[in-house]
Structure 1
Amino acid sequence: MTDEPYFIDGADRPSQWLVTCDHASNHVPHWINDGDLGLPRADMDRHIAYDVGAKGVALALGQALNAPVVGSNFSRLVIDPNRGADDPTLIMQLYDGTLIPANRGIDAAERAKRIETLYEPYHAAYAELAARRADTVILSVHSFTPQLQGKPIRPWEIGVLFAQDQRLTTPLIETLQSQTDYCVGINEPYRGYLPKDAIDRHALQHNRLNALIEIRNDLIVEESQQRAWAAQLAPILNEALAKTTLSQGS
């Protein structure tokens, strides 16, 4: 796995959609504790380290929507690109009951290095792709675990998250509910806004249409499942976009 902080797939695709995947990878760069956060492989392979299956869905959606895709090449446990740089959860020391040994007692210099080397280059690439068109629409792809430790089982199969801007998410939720049998979470399993998160930074602050989707990760483990979800979601997303008053076509 490369230590390059981000990947871009289909940079020249012309669609107004921009597909993003903030938590695409569980990779730890070699310069961080010799590429090891001190966790067993089993922990690095679960949801605390990355959004399981989300990268495959994002890449398949990029193809289906004829849209570029940008995603991270580093674990969210190294630094979380879906947090503001001043957020206390930017570099987690404890997540879903698991201590992150290499993050305990992290000093200001190490924090600054991770921001400069990983976090900011990812956001710079994201910003450049978002600015390629005046009418860019951002689709952020995430996944969630069916159950957090000690918490109830989550019933949703897909969640649609939003903040104050519901221009796209309202028709998206309506279309999902009318055309699928999915249990759709509305701002579930998480609330749809954190100050200075990726959607705030690249969509809300620029008045760009946007939606963040969360797919339950046990449904997208295999590549075939990821492609099937993308094939079903792409026309639903385009239909929802067509219903917005600000859609200008692609």
Structure 2
Amino acid sequence: MSLLEPDEPPAVEIVNPQGTSEAVLICDHASARLPRRLGDLGLSEAQRLEHIGWDIGAAAVARRLSLAIDAPLVLTGYSRLAIDCNRPPGVPTSIPVLTGSVEVPGNRDLSEADKAARVTGLFEPYHAAIAALLDGRAAAGKASAVLAIHSFTPHLGDARPWNIGVTYGRDRRLAGCFLETLQAFWPGIVVGDNQPYAVTDSGDYAMPVYGERRGLLHVLIELRQDGVTDATGQIRWADRLAACWRQFAGDLPALALQPVS
């Protein structure tokens, strides 16, 4: 039985697939929607709409950025409470039983078949779409740089001072461009260098798989949620990211030839 019913939205949304930019945008936590068959997972609507369910503001920023720089964008259609599309399947945070301090009753004691249905129904279609997009561009001789758009909570115990985080794992090349440009253009902004998180193999999926393994330039952008909760903030941050991209886009062919650092 399919996890999604025929009249439900698809597991993945692709915006502007023919975009001419070298940037390929992805949004791993774009939606708070749950598949109908999963019910509410034992959570209230208010809980599901908090950060545990999705990255607040990230999809709106990604959509405007896609339009601003004419970039293709791939977004998840369902909540990370069902399955986190930025975690390797099988790790404890892939289908979380506890997220933050919140228990997720509907994720407790799942059978292997239940877990596989979420991988097949939600995780695989999203990543198949990203892979197909990148493969198609490569076949057409079009270079790609992968930009993931996320958001983070203003507090995790202590206050988090960063307005934006520029994060990466083994390859800092594209992240360095964003860090330098953000700090030069807006010196009053607090920019996190691999804050509030660094990219890791167990805590991330897209950057290791589409960036590091394919040898593509890549970066994961984290926006503090209190700056992107409304349209004004979403527009402001999308426009800032677009301005950064335009500043160094012409340098990317040379950057791609530099050693990974």
TM class by shorter chain equals over 0.9
Query: 1:237 offset after TM fit, Å?
Result: 2.0
In structure 2, what is the equivalent of residue 191 of structure 1? Answer: 198
In structure 2, what is the equivalent of residue 166 of structure 1? Answer: 172
| TM-score, length of structure 1 as denominator length | 0.93
CA-to-aligned-CA distance 1:156-186 (integer Å, 9 cap, x gap): 0000000111111112101111111210011
- The structure 2 residue matched to 1:114, chosen from 111, 114, 118, is 118
In 1, Cα distance between equivalents of 2:12 and 2:96: 20
In 1, Cα distance between equivalents of 2:249 and 2:212: 17
Q: Quick one: which amino acid aligns to residue 81 of structure 1? A: C
In structure 2, what is the equivalent of residue 213 of structure 1? Answer: 221
- The structure 1 residue matched to 2:67, chosen from 60, 63, 70, is 63
SS in 1 for 2:60: helix
Using the TM superposition, name which of 225-234 and 89-98 deviates more.
225-234
Q: Quick one: which amino acid aligns to residue 213 of structure 2? A: Q
Does residue 44 of structure 2 align to residue 40 of structure 1?
yes
In structure 2, what is the equivalent of residue 53 of structure 1? Answer: 57
In structure 2, what is the equivalent of residue 131 of structure 1? Answer: 135
CA contact (8 A) 1:168 1:240 kept: no
Query: 1:240 offset after TM fit, Å?
Result: 3.3
Does residue 18 of structure 2 align to residue 27 of structure 1?
no
- Sequence identity of aligned pairs in percent? 38
CA contact (8 A) 2:199 2:207 kept: no
In 2, Cα distance between equivalents of 1:176 and 1:230: 13
Query: 1:227 offset after TM fit, Å?
Result: 1.5
CA contact (8 A) 1:141 1:212 kept: yes
SS in 2 for 1:131: helix
In 2, Cα distance between equivalents of 1:247 and 1:63: 24
In 2, Cα distance between equivalents of 1:76 and 1:28: 9
Query: 1:224 offset after TM fit, Å?
Result: 2.6
CA-to-aligned-CA distance 1:123-152 (integer Å, 9 cap, x gap): 00011112232311111000001012xx10
Number of aligned residue pairs: give it.
244
In structure 1, what is the equivalent of residue 86 of structure 2? Answer: 82
Does residue 9 of structure 2 align to residue 3 of structure 1?
yes
Q: Quick one: which amino acid aligns to residue 152 of structure 2? A: F
In 2, Cα distance between equivalents of 1:230 and 1:2: 29
| TM-score, length of structure 2 as denominator length | 0.89
In 1, Cα distance between equivalents of 2:219 and 2:247: 14
SS in 1 for 2:132: helix
CA contact (8 A) 1:5 1:73 kept: yes
Query: 1:247 offset after TM fit, Å?
Result: 5.6
In structure 2, what is the equivalent of residue 142 of structure 1? Answer: 150
Query: Considering only aligned residues, what root-mean-square deviation do their CA atoms show, in Å?
Result: 1.6
SS in 1 for 2:88: coil
- The structure 1 residue matched to 2:108, chosen from 99, 104, 109, is 104
CA-to-aligned-CA distance 1:63-113 (integer Å, 9 cap, x gap): 011011101011011000101123221100001100001001111110000
In structure 1, what is the equivalent of residue 163 of structure 2? Answer: 157
Query: 1:206 offset after TM fit, Å?
Result: 0.4
CA contact (8 A) 1:26 1:44 kept: yes
Using the TM superposition, name which of 10-19 and 93-102 deviates more.
10-19
In structure 2, what is the equivalent of residue 17 of structure 1? Answer: 23
